[in-house]
Amino acid sequence: MATGTFFNEAVERLSREELDAVIDERVRYTVRYAAENSPFYRSWFRDHSIDPASITTHEDLLGLPLISSKTIREHQPPVTPEFMFRSVAWEKIFTIHETSGTTGTPKSFFLTWDDWLRYAEKYARSFVSQGFGMGDRIVICASYGMNVGANTMTLAARDIGMAIIPTGKCSFPNRIITNYRPTGIVGSVFKLIHLARRMREEGLVPGESSVKRLVIGGESFAEESRAYVAELWQRDVFNTYGSTEGTMCGECVVRSGLHVPEDLVHLDVYDPALKTFVPDGECGRAVLTTLLPVGGHAGTLLINYDTGDTTVVLTREPCPCGRTHMRIMNPQREAETVWIMGTPVNRVDIERGVFQHQNMEYLTGEYEAFVYGGEENEEIILRVSMECTDPGSTPGDEIAETFRKSFFRYKPALARSLGDTFSLVFSFTEPGGLELYRLKGRPKRLVDRRS
């Protein structure tokens, strides 16, 4: 994509001073709107002795309390008679959505048509920044249901002039590729790997297909797994990060962090251990605030919402692509993190070790990990299981050593405890031999089984 290709150039290339002015104007309006229209925030401001008129800049948000997923669940049925976060009348609600509920009762969200247009613009900006444009045809391997991702991408495509092939899954027949000749596919790492392998088994070479670029959406991933997908397909692979709450950030062709649409959502980073916000460059939890344009409406809005995902603000300097909105590191789900002897271990740490290049001659990429032990004076064990194409010819010791080098590079404290209070063990299974195949729903690849 040549520099100068934008979905909304006037906004995406605002100077930092101009962008901050837009953000502050929208912060003021959003806070006032929340105080007037959201039953939850009306009480929240009162209970915390906050004068909404005193919130005039985005820096003022740093002095406000945080809310969380738990807060939302505690202010909706069955806990409360009404949905306290709903901030428009029922007749103005266009659609109702729920989160996946993987960490508890699903959270309810209400979207107006204006919300949908703003959500779609966020994805449209990402698609265009990745080189998509009018005439492209994109297969969406994401479910069309109570989550918003697939529908949002479909609306974004309408605004760009692209065609959507709404398969919902990557298990579609190969005629979708040969007949419609899609130029892009959106799916998870594993969906794209499985699709590439199935195509090869049926005589189609992914690198010789019409597909020009791939987009990974809906999950964090290791750069090693992205590189493997790119090798299988011989195509560039881009990253997007989105949620029902409205984050929707995406990589551009530079692929040096995800651009945050700062005029539509404000993002700060908070360190729960220090009970404060952290400066750019430091890791913490992404905290978002909905930003409404003056005169706008929202079915549900959030102020200082702790997403539970960790990230780093990489830079607020202009990107080589020409965009000026800040870039963040690929967020990781805190729900996919376990703590072992004071060290955080995320699913991505496991995935990085699995997808080391030399391993992939023998592995399918499917894996799961379990943590055991932890009783008084008991050793803690991290067991990693990897699926092999042929267990009989798999050099398990070599793969294990490659994994260890990758894993302990980022976990030196656990390396020092290895063989004493911590053990890292491995098992290798035939295709279909992992526990996750016997469970329904989204696979949980890192499970803490300590009592």
Residue of higher predicted confidence among 17 and 275: 17
Question: Could you report the per-residue pLDDT of 239-272, keeping only the tens digit for each?
Answer: 999 888 888 899 999 999 999 999 999 999 998 7
- pLDDT at residue 4 greater than cutoff 80: no
Question: Could you report the per-residue pLDDT of 404-433, keeping only the tens digit for each?
Answer: 999 999 999 999 999 889 999 999 999 999
pLDDT at position 334: 86
Distance CA 230, CA 226 (A): 6
Structural domains in the chain, CATH included, are 1-330 (3.40.50.12780), 336-448 (3.30.300.30)
Instruction: Give the whole-number percent of the chain exceeding pLDDT 70.
Output: 97
Residues 25-46 have a mean pLDDT of 98
Distance CA 270, CA 281 (A): 12
- At residue 451 the predicted structure's pLDDT band, cuts being 50, 70 and 90, is confident
Average pLDDT score, the chain: 93
Question: Could you report the per-residue pLDDT of 337-363, keeping only the tens digit for each?
Answer: 999 998 999 999 999 999 999 999 999
Answer whether 181's CB lies under 8 Å from 137's CB. Answer: yes
The angle, 0 to 180 degrees and rounded to 10, between the axes of the packed helices 347-354 and 223-233 is: 50
Here the tokens at position 198 are 């199935």
Rounded-to-10 torsion of CA 189, 194, 197, 199: -110
By CB atoms closer than 10 A (0-12, 13-18, 19+), residue 323 is: buried
pLDDT at position 104: 65
Question: Could you report the per-residue pLDDT of 126-155, keeping only the tens digit for each?
Answer: 999 999 999 999 999 988 888 888 999 999
Question: Could you report the per-residue pLDDT of 196-244, keeping only the tens digit for each?
Answer: 999 999 999 999 999 999 999 877 899 999 999 999 999 999 999 988 8
Residues 297-320 have a mean pLDDT of 95
- At residue 37 the predicted structure's pLDDT band, cuts being 50, 70 and 90, is very high
Answer whether 250's CB lies under 8 Å from 258's CB. Answer: yes
Lowest mean per-residue pLDDT among 281-285, 373-377, 437-441: 373-377
Lowest mean per-residue pLDDT among 91-105, 189-203, 276-290, 415-429: 91-105
pLDDT at position 3: 42
